[in-house]
Structure 1
Amino acid sequence: MIEGIILAIGAGLMLGLYALPEKFTKDFKFENTWGLFFMLTMFLVPIVASVFLIKDFSGVFASVPTDILFKMAAASVLWGVGVMMWGKAINHIGLSLGFSLFIGTVILVGSILPFVVEGLPEGNVFFTILGGIFVVLLGVLFNGQAGFTRELDEIAAGKGKKEKGSMVTGISIAVVGGLLATGFSYANAVGRPFIHEACQAAGNAEWVTAVGVMFPIFISGGIVMAAYFAYQLSTKKAWGDFKTPAFGKNFMLILIMAIFHYAASALFAFAAFKLGEIGNTVGYAIFNTACVATAIVSGIITKEWIDASNKAKNYLYLSLACMIIGIVIIAVGNGIS
């Protein structure tokens, strides 16, 4: 159990930090950076990793039932749509509220979905884990309130501006996007047992299953993301911005981002396996919570909150405390099982 928890936290740390190299790219618009990122992380990295790391790659997937692969693909497409909707929600209601609603929905629904696929555990285990998830969600809400308070402080000081857009529309998009993004959790829960069996039959190590699970998830979800950013690059007339002397450096930085993003997801899948029967729920909750907590801590370290009011900082610290306590409670629930 301890190994699985450490792996899930490690995966969350990687996901919380993967975007840092983006700060050092030059001459790229938003669409160039993230369009290239999604092409690399959703296609190049998983294809290379799967082909080179999975023994009998074609045989493994040929032995997985077609309906299982279809369910994984469909859920992964929904995940891709959900991630894109999150970006749209931010345009309406701002980063803090949009992020909190999105990730709160992801943690709540995505942690419960595996129970739908695999069945409910014993009552004391179920309610302990639910209690931990509730504490984590309190942390997410406090995080949102911290960001919202900071934004109000910046507006009052003349350093920020009010977000334009419909609040109701933005909230709706964030919540629906969060619901769709939980397709990642469903795809992992429904596909991992079959892919694990196929990988083991081909003589692969246990951890290789995580690589196998990520392959259909990333390829299917990537179709949506690639289409979206191709449209954005055309609309913003940003294709020409790839022609820059800084392209080589930018490519390497974005490739590092892509590898970290993919590795974080694969590590989560392996952590879920190591956590046992209810590992998909426990691992998903810890994974996403550790990601948010890492983002909070990195924001503090990089002095993003240095000019925030004490009220905003107190909400932030309370958020971090709730998330840590929530992870501990969830871990206890997994231990009881």
Structure 2
Amino acid sequence: MNAIAGVIFHFIGGFASGSFYVPYKKVKDWSWEAMWILGGLFSWIIVPPIAAYLTIPNFVEIIQNTDSSILGYTFLFGLLWGIGGLTYGLGVRYLGVSLGSSVILGLSMVFGSLMPAIYYFFNKADGKHGIDYFFTTNAGICVMVGLLVCIVGIYLCGKAGVLKERGLANLSGEVQLEYKFGLGITVAIISGILSACFNFGIESGKPMADVANQLWKAANPNDGEFLYQNNVTYIVILWGGFTTNFIWCLYLLAKNKTFSDYKKSSAPLGKNFLLCALAGTTWYLQFFFYGMGESRLGNGASSWILHMAFIILISNAWGIFLKEWKGVSKATYRSIIAGIAIIILSICIVGFAKTLE
């Protein structure tokens, strides 16, 4: 039952992450940096402490009593993840929701799931799997098969993007202006590698989640693991993410002289503000539900792979719904549909792996 609940929670989190950029696409007459930093205020500064307060009322004390080295590493990984999140927005902008998310999150999936296992192979810790787990146990081998199957699905999504570029001459000038494969794929690779740092941040901040978990279990004996234990860790990780994005967006606002976007008479200011707030809040919800899924499946490769796979799945579904693949050849369309189908298969395989433990 825990495995089923964990998969469902990861699906909800993946849906939130795969959908967050959709409101941004409806923002009118604002620069990218103007809308990104406003949405980020909700993602990283406003919503996380509200969620933590509602679920862990003493979260401030937990952070205050945490060793400075733990806070430092958690913040650092949040800082690096922030660069990944920053370039995520650019990758999606230049590649589209489908292809951009597939490449970025595919790389994040691989690095985020395997790097902690390599670390714990050399630094043993209770409850943590080393890289040998994926080659010496039935459950671990099944997880690796699921990861490899997902990579095949990501490859097919990427292939569809290349085919789309070749057929770009048949698309409108507006699409040609936004779709830049060379620049987009470079940004996407950087983003994918650094986005994996969020999982490293969760690992680094685990002592804070453990304290929250212990306090809850003491007050609620025999009720299992605390569903919201990671909400305190997110506070520190997202401080790091906000720092990176805030500095970069301030630079762009000054360089491009786009501070005036917030008072443009041609822009629907109220609507734009609400759309950015919705986008930012939706993005945070991915972490909220990831933490719930992780509390049921464990913070290992399975949780990270499921989370990433669901995001890729939903992102590609949105890409089709938003007609990003309209007008492409049948071969291109078959490639993106096959990629989505194979990613769904990988989700089933990784979910099944938990039943083998």
| TM-score, with structure 1 as normaliser | 0.88
Structure 2 CA distance for partners of 1:201 and 1:90, relative to 1, 3 Å: closer
Structure 2: how far apart are the matches of 1:283 and 1:164?
Answer: 32
1:13 corresponds to: 15
Kindly indicate whether residue 171 of structure 2 is the aligned counterpart of residue 152 of structure 1.
no
1:310 corresponds to: 330
Kindly indicate whether residue 53 of structure 2 is the aligned counterpart of residue 40 of structure 1.
no
Shift of the alpha carbon at 1:50? 2.6
Structure 2 CA distance for partners of 1:301 and 1:164, relative to 1, 3 Å: closer
The number of residue pairs the alignment matches comes to: 332
Structure 2 CA distance for partners of 1:283 and 1:68, relative to 1, 3 Å: same
Shift of the alpha carbon at 1:62? 2.6
Could you say what secondary structure the match of 2:230 adopts? helix
Structure 2: how far apart are the matches of 1:313 and 1:33?
Answer: 31
1:119 corresponds to: 129
Kindly indicate whether residue 304 of structure 2 is the aligned counterpart of residue 290 of structure 1.
no
Would the aligned equivalents of 2:165 and 2:181 in 1 still touch at CA under 8 Å?
A: no
Could you say what secondary structure the match of 2:57 adopts? coil
Q: Superposed, which structure 2 residues align to 1:179-198 within 5 Å?
A: 179-192=193-206, 194-198=207-211
Structure 1: how far apart are the matches of 2:352 and 2:86?
Answer: 34
Q: Give a deviation string over 1:214-236, Cα, whole Å, max 9, x none.
A: 11111111100111111111111
Structure 2 CA distance for partners of 1:62 and 1:161, relative to 1, 3 Å: closer
Structure 1: how far apart are the matches of 2:99 and 2:239?
Answer: 30
Could you say what secondary structure the match of 2:300 adopts? helix
Shift of the alpha carbon at 1:284? 1.2
Shift of the alpha carbon at 1:123? 2.6
1:136 corresponds to: 150
Q: Superposed, which structure 2 residues align to 1:193-212 within 5 Å?
A: 194-203=207-216, 206-212=226-232
Letter in 2 for 1:253: L
Would the aligned equivalents of 1:35 and 1:226 in 2 still touch at CA under 8 Å?
A: yes
Would the aligned equivalents of 2:167 and 2:328 in 1 still touch at CA under 8 Å?
A: yes
Structure 2: how far apart are the matches of 1:2 and 1:101?
Answer: 27
Would the aligned equivalents of 1:189 and 1:280 in 2 still touch at CA under 8 Å?
A: no
Could you say what secondary structure the match of 1:209 adopts? coil
Would the aligned equivalents of 1:97 and 1:144 in 2 still touch at CA under 8 Å?
A: yes
1:322 corresponds to: 342
Could you say what secondary structure the match of 1:307 adopts? coil
Shift of the alpha carbon at 1:71? 1.5
Structure 1: how far apart are the matches of 2:196 and 2:88?
Answer: 13
Kindly indicate whether residue 271 of structure 2 is the aligned counterpart of residue 271 of structure 1.
no
Shift of the alpha carbon at 1:162? 8.8
Would the aligned equivalents of 2:102 and 2:312 in 1 still touch at CA under 8 Å?
A: no
Structure 2 CA distance for partners of 1:157 and 1:207, relative to 1, 3 Å: closer
Structure 2: how far apart are the matches of 1:170 and 1:255?
Answer: 26
Would the aligned equivalents of 1:56 and 1:202 in 2 still touch at CA under 8 Å?
A: no
Letter in 2 for 1:152: R
Shift of the alpha carbon at 1:326? 0.7
Could you say what secondary structure the match of 1:16 adopts? helix
Structure 1: how far apart are the matches of 2:21 and 2:180?
Answer: 27
Letter in 2 for 1:187: G
Deviates more, 1:140-149 or 1:44-53: 44-53
| TM-score, with structure 2 as normaliser | 0.84
Shift of the alpha carbon at 1:166? 10
Structure 2 CA distance for partners of 1:195 and 1:130, relative to 1, 3 Å: same
Structure 2 CA distance for partners of 1:306 and 1:86, relative to 1, 3 Å: closer
Letter in 2 for 1:264: Q
RMSD, matched Cα:
2.7
Shift of the alpha carbon at 1:140? 0.9
Would the aligned equivalents of 1:210 and 1:267 in 2 still touch at CA under 8 Å?
A: no
1:259 corresponds to: 281
Structure 2: how far apart are the matches of 1:87 and 1:285?
Answer: 21
> Of 32, 36, 59, which aligns to 2:61?
59
Structure 1: how far apart are the matches of 2:198 and 2:213?
Answer: 23
Structure 1: how far apart are the matches of 2:233 and 2:19?
Answer: 23
Could you say what secondary structure the match of 2:208 adopts? helix
Q: Give a deviation string over 1:155-209, Cα, whole Å, max 9, x none.
A: 2567564999895x875654343222211011112323x2233213444882331
- List gaps (5 residues or longer) in structure 1: none
Would the aligned equivalents of 1:63 and 1:198 in 2 still touch at CA under 8 Å?
A: no
- List gaps (5 residues or longer) in structure 2: 121-127, 221-225
Letter in 1 for 2:211: A
Structure 2 CA distance for partners of 1:15 and 1:63, relative to 1, 3 Å: same
Structure 1: how far apart are the matches of 2:184 and 2:15?
Answer: 28
Structure 2 CA distance for partners of 1:228 and 1:244, relative to 1, 3 Å: same
Q: Give a deviation string over 1:253-291, Cα, whole Å, max 9, x none.
A: 211111111111121122112113xx4311111111111
Shift of the alpha carbon at 1:88? 5.9
